[in-house]
Structure 1
Amino acid sequence: MPSLNRNLQKLFTITQKPERLIIGLMSGTSLDGLDIAVCRFSGNGFDTRFELLKFITLPYDDAFRQEVKQVFAQRQTDLEKVCLLNARIGMLHADMIKQALRQWGWDFSAIDIIASHGQTIYHVPRRLHGGESWPNATLQIGDADHIAVQTGIITISDFRQKHIAAGGEGAPLALYGDVLLGSDARCNRILLNIGGIANLTWLPADRNEIICTDVGAGNTLIDAACRQYFNLPYDAGGHIAASGQVHLALLDALLAHPFFAEAAPKTTGPELFSSDYVQQARQRADATDILAADLVATLSAFTAEAIVRFVKYSIMGKPDELLLSGGGARNKFIVDYLKRALPGVKVADTDTIGLNADAKEAILFALLANEALCGEPVVVGNNPAVLMGKFSFPV
């Protein structure tokens, strides 16, 4: 009887270990850089035990950002560029992993698995493309074989495809990590991630009627306005928004899209919440000439108000806690808006429950890799009960 090849033997050995060291990678729609989180896991499912050992965000340079933006959220694009970037991003992420491990003085052989989200370039659920005969779809690039070969570490990637194949929309995948790491039988909790897109998980104490859904534009429109009018990548601390005035008519126009009335769970992306979306809303609201700071203030209020309305009107029950992660957790304008609009709700960040607010998404994909290795599909409401990820071997 033939024996397992060495990669399968190594994979089997990893699954049998009492603890596994997994690197989680996240590169979001903001294109700030690559989040790298080294995590220690034991157990799986609701018995998962987790520790964040190291975390760093290595920034992308402007030239790379511009290359990705040529294909990002574009209905028509250069297929050769997509093909080249698929390999280029995988190679870049491998180099960044090696840089981080060397900086920390870690031996590559200490890492069991790399979990790579890749770089989303297009997300198109059926609700957005409108073609009933076509499926939900999403595309992340950054070839994991390049990561595995260059680092010598087994790499798990392409997590979103199984979710779609099983009937989901491929996002948000925060559901699985939030339920396993963020549930608390003592309180009703919302875990809110404000990245390029804002998504949340409603975790009632009894774990009934859990909801995980995108709720709005997150930072994507704020960041675009900061780049266009202030030559800044984002509104650090919400200072620009705080210096402006919210244009109420424009805010109403931004909130008028049918997406906000659709039932959860639902997903969205910069394919919808784009500069064209903002420009059309400005025209409807007669707000084409407002000050740049007022625009940033209004876009920031748009992000916050979409969250507030969902919390108030789309969940069954009252939250005790609203715990934030992602870049928006550091935006004081948005955080203060949430606190004012949701009196009686504790608004803090996920650090308070041991989940680094900046590293949370990278941690999530490390957890999904741990589940792919050792878990069984977790049933959460009507969400697809699947294990996600594709395996790439070094050689």
Structure 2
Amino acid sequence: MNTQVEKLYRIAQKEERYIIGLMSGTSLDGLDVALCKLSGSGKETKLELVAFDTLVYQAAFRTYIRLVFSKRDIDLQILCGLNAYIGHVHGQLINDALAKWGVSADHVDLIASHGQTVYHAPQSLTHDHELPNSTLQIGDGDHIAHHTGLITISDFRQKHIAAGGEGAPLAAYGDYLLFSDQLENRILLNIGGISNFTFLPNGSSALQAYATDLGPGNTMMNQYMKQHYNQEMDSDAAIAQTGKPHPRLLAALEESEFLNLGFPKTTGPELFNLAYLTQKQQQSGTEDLSKADIMATLCHFSAQTIVKGIRRQTQGMDNVAVYISGGGLHNPLLIKLIKQGLPHYKITSFDALGLNPDAKEACLFAVLANETLVGQPDNVSTIKNSPAICMGKISFPY
């Protein structure tokens, strides 16, 4: 037997597995690295976050990714090179994190890598029914495995699409296994570049759990800040809070076919971007707005899509709790607007469920890798519109 296959078999037999989950989102701020201790599988899964850090990307690295990110016309040589380069960089960042934590690589069983999304193309977004649903995450797992010496599971979204899904969001799988509750109806809201939630009905409900994208989270605000201020984000909503939302532009932004689709659904920066903003400014005659007013309007737009989505799902329900994770949690104006729009809801940080909200997505990929190794598809067979599968490709380091 190949020694690496034998090693993987031994890992699967262990009572506890130490898995590093990786997440790099559409915000391109950095790589989330979460060292998780996992035991069991399915609804018996137990997760403990051992160590976590977000390793910030260098500006030159972000610039490279932006050459291909959410663009239809790209240089294929750069895309090909970036697939290897991102894998190399992520491998080095893992090694840096382990050194910082004082953890030996020998103590780690697996890496679970989401990769860097560069294009998301479900048919519902492209309206091209000749080509199937597709999505592309780069940062090759073989490079990560080789540079760290650790078995790596990566490219999770492809199996979801192959089995009939749209490739996103995948959060429902881990959320359902870890955070379902007998009494609460839970909305696990993640505000990254795109906002999404997982709906977890209480244990006595006949409803099914599912995950859905809602619309823009931080992506349009971040794109605008980069273009007009050469900053990655509007830290503490400093600029948005000096402006005023423009009602005509806000109404135009909300006129999107996607926003009226039923749940679950998926989208990305391929739709919600600065070209979309320009189109809506022209449509509403608001080309002369101040930058601060545009930022305020974009923040209100994100908040309204989130509020309306949560209201739509939870109408008529009692005992609803909203737990927030993702970079948008650190935008005080966005969180204030969400709370104002949902005045009778319990709204809190994901900390309340015992997990660092910034680490949540990276941890969920560690859970997916754990299911790939020791779980069964039946563990997630009741999630609405999501194929019952185990996901990920396995890369050996040697």
Could you tell me how far apart the structure 2 residues matched to 1:314 and 1:55 are?
Answer: 32
Deviation at 1:22, TM superposition (A): 0.2
Q: Is the 8 A contact 1:202 1:315 kept in 2?
A: no
Corresponding residue number in structure 1 for 2:255: 256
Corresponding residue number in structure 1 for 2:392: 389
For 1:281-292, list aligned pairs within 5 A.
281-292=280-291
- The gaps in structure 1 that reach 5 residues or longer are none
Corresponding residue number in structure 1 for 2:201: 204
Could you tell me how far apart the structure 2 residues matched to 1:323 and 1:139 are?
Answer: 29
Structure 2 SS opposite 1:348? strand
Corresponding residue number in structure 2 for 1:73: 70
Corresponding residue number in structure 1 for 2:328: 328
Deviation at 1:127, TM superposition (A): 0.9
Give deviations 1:294-339, integer Å, cap 9, x for gaps: 1111101111100111112244543621111000011111111111
Percent identity of the aligned residues? 51
Q: Extract structure 1 runs of 4+ deviating beyond 6 A.
A: none
Could you tell me how far apart the structure 2 residues matched to 1:289 and 1:178 are?
Answer: 43
Could you tell me how far apart the structure 2 residues matched to 1:263 and 1:169 are?
Answer: 14
1:360 equivalent in alignment to 2:357: no
After superposing the two structures, state which structure 1 stretch, 235-244 or 220-229, moved more. Answer: 235-244
For 1:1-395, list aligned pairs within 5 A.
4-206=1-203, 208-315=207-314, 317-318=316-317, 320-377=320-377, 378-379=380-381, 380-395=383-398
Q: Is the 8 A contact 1:14 1:112 kept in 2?
A: yes
Deviation at 1:238, TM superposition (A): 2.0
Could you tell me how far apart the structure 1 residues matched to 2:269 and 2:40 are?
Answer: 36
Could you tell me how far apart the structure 2 residues matched to 1:315 and 1:345 are?
Answer: 10
Give deviations 1:117-157, integer Å, cap 9, x for gaps: 11000000001111222210000000110111111100000
Structure 1 SS opposite 2:286? coil
Question: Counterpart of 1:394 in structure 2: which amino acid?
Answer: P
Q: Is the 8 A contact 2:165 2:385 kept in 1?
A: no
Q: Is the 8 A contact 1:239 1:333 kept in 2?
A: no
Structure 2 SS opposite 1:120? strand
Question: Counterpart of 2:12 in structure 1: which amino acid?
Answer: T
Question: Counterpart of 1:382 in structure 2: which amino acid?
Answer: N
After superposing the two structures, state which structure 1 stretch, 377-386 or 166-175, moved more. Answer: 377-386
Could you tell me how far apart the structure 1 residues matched to 2:306 and 2:328 are?
Answer: 12
Q: Is the 8 A contact 1:156 1:390 kept in 2?
A: yes
Give deviations 1:254-300, integer Å, cap 9, x for gaps: 11000011111111001111110000011111111111111111101
Give deviations 1:30-73, integer Å, cap 9, x for gaps: 11111100000000110000100100011111111111100111
Could you tell me how far apart the structure 1 residues matched to 2:167 and 2:315 are?
Answer: 24
Deviation at 1:228, TM superposition (A): 2.2
Could you tell me how far apart the structure 2 residues matched to 1:293 and 1:132 are?
Answer: 40
Structure 1 SS opposite 2:112? strand
Q: What is the TM-score with the length of structure 2 in the denominator?
A: 0.97
- The gaps in structure 2 that reach 5 residues or longer are none
Q: Please provide the CA RMSD for this pair.
A: 1.1
Give deviations 1:209-240, integer Å, cap 9, x for gaps: 32310000110001111222233211222222
After superposing the two structures, state which structure 1 stretch, 318-327 or 77-86, moved more. Answer: 318-327
Give deviations 1:170-212, integer Å, cap 9, x for gaps: 0000111111112111111100000011010111113523231
Could you tell me how far apart the structure 2 residues matched to 1:317 and 1:369 are?
Answer: 36
Question: Counterpart of 2:246 in structure 1: which amino acid?
Answer: H
Question: Counterpart of 1:388 in structure 2: which amino acid?
Answer: M
Could you tell me how far apart the structure 2 residues matched to 1:314 and 1:52 are?
Answer: 30
Could you tell me how far apart the structure 2 residues matched to 1:40 and 1:376 are?
Answer: 19
Structure 2 SS opposite 1:382? coil
Q: Is the 8 A contact 2:210 2:386 kept in 1?
A: no
Q: Is the 8 A contact 1:86 1:142 kept in 2?
A: yes
Question: Counterpart of 1:262 in structure 2: which amino acid?
Answer: L
Structure 2 SS opposite 1:46? helix
Structure 2 SS opposite 1:21? strand
